[in-house]
Amino acid sequence: MVRFFAFDGVLFLLPFAVYALWLLVTRRSISNVSDWTLQTIGYLALAGAALVIIVLVIFVQRETDRPGGTYVPAHLEHGTIVPGHFDPAS
């Protein structure tokens, strides 16, 4: 669960990091208060939230299996762990 929130946190903060990098490259400083207006922070937060939502939707669409399959739980096979998976319906 911590990994899930950390991944989302990194995605949310990515626009802020890109903007700070852009400020650093173009203006040689990220500490100028006039560059971090409330409107700019709002746009960056919206971009971060949109990025998190888009990535979550993509992951949900990719990691789904067809209905009717049989779940096979994780188990040991020849000394290695086989992750849980769905066997397709026959």
> How many angstroms separate the CA atoms of 10 and 19, rounded?
14
pTM of the predicted structure, to 2 decimals: 0.68
Percentage of the residues of the chain whose pLDDT score is greater than 90: 54
**CA–CA dist 31, 71 (Å, integer):** 53
How many distinct structural domains can be found in the chain? 1
pLDDT of residue 89: 74
Residue 17: which pLDDT band, with cuts at 50, 70 and 90?
very high
Q: In the predicted model, is pLDDT for residue 10 greater than 70?
A: yes
pLDDT score for 61: 81
Domain that holds residue 34: 2-87
DSSP-based three-state secondary structure for 24 = helix
